């Protein structure tokens, strides 16, 4: 695929993704914070549904030889530190890289700060990637670059089989989670501010969209 069609396809997919986030309401700061507080499970249900769907589609496409898997190296230090920073940022900002743009489109006036921060962080990492990677190289502890490792390297069955098995397990988990915490009840109890006496974004204060 050439550059222009790839860009156009990316824009269309991004628009569909943003629309899905907005319709599911998981782009609201309160939903994200509620998930981290384990008081609202709408976000995890939506994300797990997307993962299960993606696994099935990717398994079919890969099984038919239409797509090939491209695996990145497992850098333990980068994954652990980066994951912790991302999780803390989501809680403090009430947004993640995907939902911030959807919040902009929905009219959340403070979402620009999250987008600007993400761009600044990406730019900074680009400038100092070698230094950061060197600092997070935990080879001395046996946790350095583990190579392009996936579960297909550790478990039998190949990608297609494992993808379908994990998709089935996710569906079973989603059914159990829905029985325990029905989405209609959670929607009725949803507090868009993320909890009594607090603003939607701990750090940014998240001004809600204008009525």
- pLDDT tens, 132-181? 888 888 776 666 666 776 777 777 778 888 899 999 999 999 999 999 98
* Strand, coil or helix: 182: coil
**What pLDDT score was predicted for residue 155?**
73
Distance of CA 98 to the CA centre of its chain: 7
Do 125 and 132 touch, CB atoms closer than 8 A? yes
| 147 CB-contact burial (10 Å; exposed 0-12 / middle 13-18 / buried 19+) | exposed
Least Cα distance to 46 among 12, 118, 113, 96 occurs for 96
Do 88 and 200 touch, CB atoms closer than 8 A? no
Between 33-37, 60-64, 149-153, 175-179, the lowest mean confidence (pLDDT) is in 149-153
pLDDT tens-digit map of 4-17: 888 898 889 888 88
**What pLDDT score was predicted for residue 146?**
67
**What pLDDT score was predicted for residue 140?**
66
**What residues does each domain of the chain span?**
3-189
Residue 138 DSSP class: B
Unique residue bearing structure tokens 């550790």: 154
| 170 CB-contact burial (10 Å; exposed 0-12 / middle 13-18 / buried 19+) | middle
What tokens does 21 get? 């986030």
Between 59-68, 81-90, 109-118, 142-151, the lowest mean confidence (pLDDT) is in 142-151
Q: What is the mean pLDDT of residues 73-91?
A: 85
What CA–CA distances, in Å, run from 133 to 84, 126, 144, 148, 211?
Answer: 16, 11, 10, 16, 45
Indicate if the pLDDT at residue 26 is higher than 90: no
**What pLDDT score was predicted for residue 183?**
83
């Amino acid at each position: 695929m050439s550059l222009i069609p790839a860009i156009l396809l990316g824009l269309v997919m991004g628009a569909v993704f943003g629309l899905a986030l907005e319709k599911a309401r998981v782009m609201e700061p309160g939903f994200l914070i509620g998930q981290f507080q384990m008081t609202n499970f709408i976000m995890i249900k939506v994300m797990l549904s997307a993962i299960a769907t993606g696994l099935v589609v990717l398994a079919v496409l890969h099984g038919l030889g239409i797509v090939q898997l491209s695996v990145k190296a497992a850098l333990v230090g980068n994954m652990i530190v980066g994951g912790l920073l991302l999780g803390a940022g989501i809680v403090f900002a009430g947004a993640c890289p995907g939902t911030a743009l959807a919040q902009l489109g929905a009219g959340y006036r403070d979402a620009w700060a999250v987008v600007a921060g993400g761009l600044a962080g990406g730019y900074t990492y680009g400038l100092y990637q070698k230094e950061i990677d060197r600092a997070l190289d935990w080879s001395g502890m046996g946790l350095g670059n583990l190579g392009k490792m996936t579960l297909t390297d550790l478990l039998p069955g190949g990608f297609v089989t494992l993808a379908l098995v994990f998709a089935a397990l996710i569906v079973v988990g989603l059914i159990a989670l829905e029985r325990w915490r029905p989405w209609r009840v959670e929607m009725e109890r949803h507090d868009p501010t993320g909890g009594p006496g607090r603003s939607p974004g701990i750090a940014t204060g998240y001004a809600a969209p204008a009525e």
